[in-house]
Structure 1
Amino acid sequence: MEKTQISGIQLYLILLGFLFGSSVILTPALGAGRDAWLAMILAGVAGILLMWVYTTIALLNPSKTLVEILRDKLGKVIGTILSVLYIWYFVHLAALVFRNFGEFICTTTLPETPVAVVMGLFALVLLYVVNSGIEVLGRLSELFVLILPTVVLIISIALITEHDFTAFLPVLEDGMAPVIQAAFVNLTFPFGEAVAFLMVFPHLNRMDNLKKVVISSTATSSALAIFVFARDLIALGSDLIARATFIPHLTSLLIPEFNVVPLVDINLLVGGGVKISVCIYAAAKGLSQVTGTHDYRSFSRAVITFCVVLSVWVYENLIEMFAWAEKLWPYYSIPFQFVIPLLLLLLSLRGKNKPSQPNTENTETESCTSDA
């Protein structure tokens, strides 16, 4: 563990940027249609419970990263295999967010620019951030993450006259099944993806504040996402939202005589940048611990280069990107987000409650003394 620490407010803002990152342009619960707000509430509650699991694992294994916990609880061989799988998961997640960013910029702002060029330039900036360390990421989050709610507020105020509250009706027209399905998708994206923070939590300077910081940041992110969807729904209507590609971007176009598209771009730069940086850091740090290398920076350049290449290769087009995010990613993520963390939680709780073995030598010595 490199000797760097972040404060509670820095962790709060990093997690807020991570959770709200791709949500700037994507609405994970959109499968529920106009009832997505209800699915997002359910996902937010479940997300807080999931964060409780992650933070409890971290507190029961103080100063240990996810890789160290896996190898400690499951043995060196199995723990190393699962660590490598998690490294792949973090790399894959970073590649998907890269592609989200590239597709959005190339579709809305720079249509003549190749998506690989956009992602490559963004990667150069993020490589500097990752190599600067988690402490620098925390300081940058203090400077920039608050832009996210500020931009949301600016756009919402500008659209205050554009509203149709009947867009929420009828509620649960298709029953609860689509809502539950959409809530599951929203739980895996973005809340479950925060399993990457098990590589970051040991850097918090006061671990006694971990649960309070993480749960409050999760609740803030969930409330912000629900507010954005509700704003978009009453501004656009349910029919237009169902056909839109990048919903918040389309909403911003409704503002007369004022181009706020650059503000949406900035939100994605900040949120997506934080999310990718955390994933790259987690992957590079995991590789350094698996291989026994002291400095994770020796892997960061290779990891981020591979992420850009993978992001170009992973999808054929925008439609395939959305289909993967909604239909495949949630189930692909189940072992990484739920199964393995719950297993680690049970093993950590058992290790905590396991009674200590009596000292055999001392017992024998006391017995001999007594006999004498």
Structure 2
Amino acid sequence: MMKPDTLSVRTFTILVIFFMIGTSILITPAGLTLVAKQDAWLAAIVGIGLNILSVLIYVSLGNRYGDKTLIEMCHLAFGKWIGNVFGLCFIAFFYLLTSLMIGDLGFFLTTQTLPETPIEILLIIFVIIVIFAVRAGMIVYSRAVQIFFPILFFMLCFLIIPIFPQIDFIDFEPILEYGFKPIIKAGFSFSGFQEMIVLLMIYPYVAKSAKKGRGFVWGTVIGGFVLIIITVGCIGVMGAAVTANQLFPAYVLAKNINIGHFLERIEGIMMFIWILSIVMKIVLTFDASLIGLCQLFKLKDPKPYVIPMGFGLIALALLCYTNTISINDFLTKNWTPFATIFTIFVPLFILGILLFRGPGASRNKQENTTENEQA
């Protein structure tokens, strides 16, 4: 499969910001507050810190093997057969993550704004959008992100600035009432919802630069800062108890904004920000699964597989989203331990093996693999 033109570091940083905001801006304040109560903002900081540490692992891998995707790194570390098993597991993880985010979109719209619309119709509409974006190619949708980024920034400012006068700092007291344990627990759970490992499939397509890894880290920091601000706003305006009892607290927060009794109910802005960011995260994750599939099975062109795999997301999303209680229980209790296998443990294992073997062994393995493929 031919590589597309390289992305600039600035473009990649913007993609990381969109990816960070993704599903998290709307749903994670509730999970954080449920565990850490009024200290959820501290838990968000801990979670972002864990995300930065994981990104440093990915940057270390990416800088050492900058022309290799995660699937190709699996081959370098474990060899052909075991590497294929690990690669297939990563592809399945990306595909499952994509379907869950598609389900998030449908579930949000059918419960908050379009209750009489069948969820299947909404899923089909968004999957068609994702299919068009992925078929257009990485360069096309990355340029679209550059166009949307100033709009996203303006709308975030328009949403965040009116929140501050309404914040009641009493809602944050007493600080550390329950100690550090709930904060660490909530922060760890929060960090599992970013899944930044997906971007290692995009990392080789970024133009070679000394600032390449720095862009990855700064994108994580900026996106994390937005999530911390939203969490602070939810607690300061609505209180910890109300925030914890909402499915989508940031959406409810936007309903509470009132400027001079003439600017009210701007939840549409929050909905636009979330849909824009989650659609981009879906596109990136789905494209990552396609790139991995083509590399694993030596497919030259991914386009014939975009449509069937895209509509397969609908079936998988409907299978996962049986009801509200089951999916919330799965996401709050099981998703982070499950995702950590792919986001922390396996990347650390790969990095450790590649460092132990050294660059020479990896290079020889790569040359032998190339010779075998050509033969």
Give the TM-score of the pair, scaled to structure 2: 0.90
Looking at structure 2, the residues matched to 348 and 150 of structure 1 have their Cα atoms a distance apart, in angstroms, of 43
- C-alpha offsets along residues 155-214 of structure 1, whole Å, 9 cap, x if unaligned? 233334322110001112122111111111111111xx1111111001101242221100
RMSD value over aligned CA atoms? 1.8
Separation of aligned partners in 1, 2:322 and 2:239:
30
Residue 195 of structure 1: aligned partner? 197
Give 2:72's match in structure 1, choosing from 58, 65, 68.
68
The equivalent of 1:126 in structure 2 is 130
Q: Which residue of 1 aligns with 2:15?
A: 14
Aligned residue number for residue 224 of structure 2: 222
Corresponding residue for residue 183 of structure 2: 179
**What SS does the aligned partner of 2:207 have?**
coil
What residue in structure 2 maps to residue 80 of structure 1?
84
- 1:105–1:265 CA contact under 8 A, matched in 2: no
SS at match of 1:88: helix
Which of 1 and 2 has greater Rg? 1
Q: Rate the CA distance shift 1:266–1:353 in 2: closer, same or farther, 3 A.
A: same
Q: SS at 1:293's partner residue? A: coil
Letter of the aligned partner of 2:295 in structure 1? Q
Correspondences of 1:95-174 after superposition (within 5 Å): 95-174=99-178
Aligned to 1:272: 278
Q: Which moved more, 1:275-284 or 1:309-318?
A: 309-318
Tell me the amino acid that sits aligned with residue 172 of structure 2: F
Query: Is the partner of 2:179 in helix, strand or coil?
Result: coil
Calculate percent identity across the aligned residue pairs: 25
Are residue 310 (structure 1) and residue 316 (structure 2) matched? yes
What is the rounded CA distance, in whole Å, between the counterparts of 1:124 and 1:56 in structure 2? 36
Which residue in the other structure is 1:287 paired with? 293
| Rounded Cα–Cα distance in structure 2 between residues aligned with 1:255 and 1:60 | 47
Name the structure 2 match of 1:370: none
Helix, strand or coil for the counterpart of 2:27? coil
CA distance in 1, matches of 2:277, 2:292: 23
> Shift of the alpha carbon at 1:356?
11
**Amino acid of the structure 2 residue aligned with 1:17:** F
Q: Which runs of 5+ in 1 are unaligned?
A: 358-372
In structure 1, the residue matched to 2:32 is: 29
Matches of 1:347 and 1:137 in 2, distance apart? 35
Contact 2:76 2:362 in 1 (8 A): no
- 214-223 or 144-153: bigger deviation: 144-153
Structure 1 letter corresponding to 2:289: A
Report the counterpart of residue 369 of structure 1 in structure 2.
none
- Tell me how many residue pairs correspond in the alignment: 355
- Residues 50/166 of structure 1: CA separation in 2 closer, same or farther (3 Å cut): same
Gaps of 5+ in 2: 364-375
Match of 1:363 in 2: none
Provide the TM-score with structure 1 as the length reference.
0.91
Q: Deviations over 1:34-91 (max 9, x none)?
A: 1111111111112111101011111111211111111121010000011111111001
